[in-house]
Amino acid sequence: MTGAGVTRIGGREFRWGQRPFVMGIINVTPDSFSGDGLACDVGAAVARAQEMEAAGADILDIGGESTRPGSAPITADEELGRVLPALERIVAAVKVPVSIDTYKVEVARRAVAAGASLINDVWGLKQDPALARVAAEAGVPLVVMHNQRGTCYVDLVAEVLASLRWSLGRAEEAGVPLENLIVDPGIGFGKTLEHNLELMRRLRELRSLGRPVLLGTSRKSMIGLVLGLPPDQRMEGTAATVALGIAGGADIVRVHDVAPMVRVCRMADAIVRGYSTLR
């Protein structure tokens, strides 16, 4: 894990390098790739948030637009109509920080005003660099993920690192403090199966960026392709990627199945860092 200092998210201190943190996924979409979309069922979203908090989630990440391959983009108004009712209720119902998963400026701005304390941008500021100004003005941390259209690379890891450095630079130029920045290699985004597996093998190289690393592999097609299983049968594959990701230096793991992945994190971390640090 990185020695990237401390980031305050929603009033809580996240001390990077002490242990891995778990981010629970709440999709308020009708077309999630993983089959867990809650559409406009606010009550179900709140119940899931409370279950995840009780199971040990450190952060909850709410998203209103599917990122599955072939999904149609939606407008900011449509996305706000999905996320705001759930976000407002969830922020009031849980004590852990809540993140907004969006690349749209207006969605991020309204979500932060409604209580979101982290912005998770799957385009790493490449869709709209102004998103960084929202984070800077609100004083909330920002996750920048590597993403691109197409899967052509000459040197995969070097290009992912260069892209993330660009995102970090744009964020700092907009006024986001370095301690408020988190990087994500973007497993499953603009990458083939072999690319994803190589990134997993070489995850530790992201430490050169000096920022905490968020890893999102939960139920991804990488697992489905290797095991030949649909999304709802990929828990063991997800567990393998989470454990190996922690061994490779991941600071946050973004998952659908919080309770079992909290246990995986605890066991993996006991091996990587030593059991005495967990007591």
- Rounded to whole angstroms, the Cα distance separating 157 from 232 reads 30
Determine which one of 110, 207, 211, 254 is catalytic: 254
Eight-class DSSP state of 73: P
Q: Give one word for 27, left, alpha or beta, with left for phi > 0 and alpha for psi -120 to 50.
A: beta
CB-CB neighbours of 130 under 10 Å: 14
Give yes or no: 95 in active site: no
Query: Residue 252 gets which letter from DSSP?
Result: E
Exposed, middle or buried by CB within 10 Å (0-12, 13-18, 19+), for 157?
Answer: middle
77: number of Cβ within 10 Å: 10
**CB contact set of 19 (below 8 Å; sequence gap of 6+):** 265, 269, 273, 277, 278
Picking from 188, 76, 59, the residue whose alpha carbon sits closest to that of residue 127 is: 76
- Indicate which residue of 19, 110, 220, 234 is catalytic: 220
The answer to whether 234 is a known catalytic residue is no
Closest to 122 (Cα-Cα) out of 149, 86, 83: 149
Residues annotated as catalytic (active site), given as ranges? 220, 254
